[in-house]
Chain A
Amino acid sequence: MNQKLIFEISRAGRKGYSLPNCDVPVESIEDMIPNEYLRETELDLPEISEGDMVRHFTALSRCNYGVDTGFYPLGSCTMKYNPKINEDVSRMDGFTGVHPALPDSAVQGCLELLYKMDLMLAEITGMERVSLQPAAGAHGELAGLMIMKAYHENCGNEQRKTIIVPDSAHGTNPASAAMVGYEVIEVKTDSRGNVNLSELRELMSDQVAGMMLTNPSTLGLFEENICEIADIVHDSGGLIYYDGANLNAIMGVTRPGDMGFDIVHLNLHKTFSTPHGGGGPGSGPVGVTKDLVPFLPTPVIQYKEGQYIRDYNRPFSIGQIKSFYGNFAVIIKAYAYIMTMGAKGLHGVSQTAVLNANYLLNKLKKDYQHPYDRACMHEFVLSGQLQKNKGVSTLDMAKRMIDYGFHPPTIYFPMIIKEAMMFEPTETESRETLDAAAEVLIRIAREVEENPELIKEAPHHTSVGRLDEVQAVREPVLRWRP
């Protein structure tokens, strides 16, 4: 790559700014700040002209890839188009000009938006109330499990210390459970891709706090025995937690609450179209059934006597889990999305997401192994095992996709599928884009037969070639100058 670091372009004295003369009395810094806090050496900032700086950052931005540049079928991440109207709405003066420390009476519009968003997400998920505080998905999981723990402790069931998680689960599920001090037990997936019911029955006891489940699962399959699973967990006194990563498959069709779930987290940055890559930031609201509302984080937004208020007086609450009220600007963007789509529109989102995934799956399953012979939901998992047997790994094929201008799918996840490739096209891709992606993947399968070396050395058409990920982890170079 020819791209230099900005420090390498820097030349002493080549400043890109000129400041006006100071028109207030000048104080020396030593008089204002105690000596021990002052640095002894000059700050090493790059010195570069404005034009060179613009070229530098423009060049970097052109190395980037996102949903605004091309197809991004990264499974389990719901990389849908982020409507630009969301950005306009979140930048309105009434939202950007307020401070979160203002009294309730001065921010009625903001509180109204939060309250209405809470109720809309509750309606979409079949929950009673939703806290919008968690900063992103895993934080929502943590808040949800803290609520589960608070509920059991309040019922005098401190002995419930284990959480059941399927072997197909996102890694964040066992990690979140461990964070709140729970022990994790894994339940296996059966030959149809559902949770193994007989094994689940055996695992249940009065030691189990609950179960975490993603539905549709990370295999992109709808859990066919979901009501029975909820009954099994409830019958032994546990709660069941819905990982909302895959909500994009079911909006307006069914709801976690109707399936028997007690706690739900959502990812506004997936399902509700807020920016996702590059740090987001995210937003991971957590919703609960009526019995669990007392445990929600403080504050809960309430509407009383014509006024919206932040209610902190909640003795059973797990407390505040984020400064102020979560990632507010992200919540506004998701609110704008829901208002733009409407109820019918969200139903259409899920229908199209499922249709697009099945369309792509059916184009690919002749050339790649399809582990569970079922219709998929909004995403699907293929195995690269046929190609692996010929010496080309899923990683190689993922790199080759980049040569054709597409972002690769999620690879090597879920871990129960060998050489996994997980595709989630989302509803915002056209038939032409799906056809073009399928054509590339079929061509890559043919290249495995005809010219495997070409794939093993991919990518060829990028600013840098294949990166040595192993060396990057074993011997990371974290500073430009040692």
Chain B
Amino acid sequence: MNIPADLKYTKKHEWARVEGDLVYVGITEYAQNSLGDIVFVELPSVGDIITSGEAFGVVESVKAASDIYSSLSGIVKEVNNELIDHPERINQNPYDSWMMAIEPSKASELEVLLDASAYEKLCLEEA
């Protein structure tokens, strides 16, 4: 399974990439694979205030609709609105298909994210 070493991960199968002050967030290969073909995406708006543990969006496949949870608190700075018209890109390239860029307000929340090897272990346990 594809789990890039340079990303951070959450227990709910999201990835996070730190770029300067911003953190780009999407869902992992494992997540898109278990959801199946994604047909609909709901994303937050720029300026939304997100609290860690809360849902910031929805992905819907033919099988099910799932909330996407944020592990970080902060302000939404950018949103990848291209995914609204092309949700299939999440299936094709989950690690290029970032959903939002958040400016985190609590640095401590970044430290508890999983690294690639810890996340891989988690996926193996769930499989």
Contacts and interface: CB of A to CB of B under 8 A. Distances in A.
Say whether A associates with B: yes
A470 interface: yes
A479 B5 CA distance: 48
A415 interface: yes
A474 B88 contact: yes
B12 interface: no
Secondary structure at chain A's binding surface: helix, strand, loop or mixed? helix
Contact of A412 (B37, B39, B40, B63): B63
Contacts of B37: 470
Interface string A438-478: 00000000000000000000000000000001100110000
Contacts of B63: 412
A469 B62 contact: yes
A474 B39 contact: yes
Contacts of A412: 63-64
Nearest to B39: A473
A210 B49 CA distance: 29
A415 B62 contact: no
A473 B62 contact: yes
Interface in A408-430: 412, 415, 418
Interface string B31-47: 00010010110000000
Contacts of B64: 412, 415
Interface in B1-58: 34, 37, 39-40
Contacts of B62: 469-470, 473
Contacts of B88: 474
Contacts of A474: 39, 87-88
A473 B39 CA distance: 7
Contacts, number: 14
B127 to A, nearest CB: 9
Interface string B60-95: 001110000000000000000000000110000000
A415 B39 CA distance: 18
Contacts of B39: 470, 473-474
B13 to A, nearest CB: 14
A412 B39 CA distance: 16
- Max chain B Cβ within 10 angstroms of own Cβ: one of A415, A418, A470: A470
Interface string A54-65: 000000000000
A422 to B, nearest CB: 13
Contacts of B34: 418
Contacts of A418: 34
Nearest to A474: B39
Contacts of A415: 64
Contacts of A469: 62
Nearest to B63: A412
B90 to A, nearest CB: 13
A414 to B, nearest CB: 10
A165 to B, nearest CB: 14
Nearest to A469: B62
A474 B39 CA distance: 6
A138 to B, nearest CB: 16
A215 B82 CA distance: 43
A473 B65 CA distance: 13
A473 B60 CA distance: 11
A298 to B, nearest CB: 35
A56 to B, nearest CB: 31
Contacts of A473: 39-40, 62
Interface string A398-416: 0000000000000010010
A357 B37 CA distance: 32
Nearest to A412: B63
Nearest to B85: A474
Nearest to A393: B36
Contacts of B87: 474
A470 B88 CA distance: 10
Interface string A273-301: 00000000000000000000000000000
Contacts of B40: 473
B97 to A, nearest CB: 16
Interface of B: 34, 37, 39-40, 62-64, 87-88
Interface of A: 412, 415, 418, 469-470, 473-474
14 contacts: A412-B63, A412-B64, A415-B64, A418-B34, A469-B62, A470-B37, A470-B39, A470-B62, A473-B39, A473-B40, A473-B62, A474-B39, A474-B87, A474-B88
- Identify the 7 closest CB pairs spanning chains A and B, nearest first: A470-B37, A473-B39, A412-B63, A469-B62, A474-B39, A470-B62, A415-B64
Given A473-B40, A474-B88, 12 more contacts: A412-B63, A412-B64, A415-B64, A418-B34, A469-B62, A470-B37, A470-B39, A470-B62, A473-B39, A473-B62, A474-B39, A474-B87
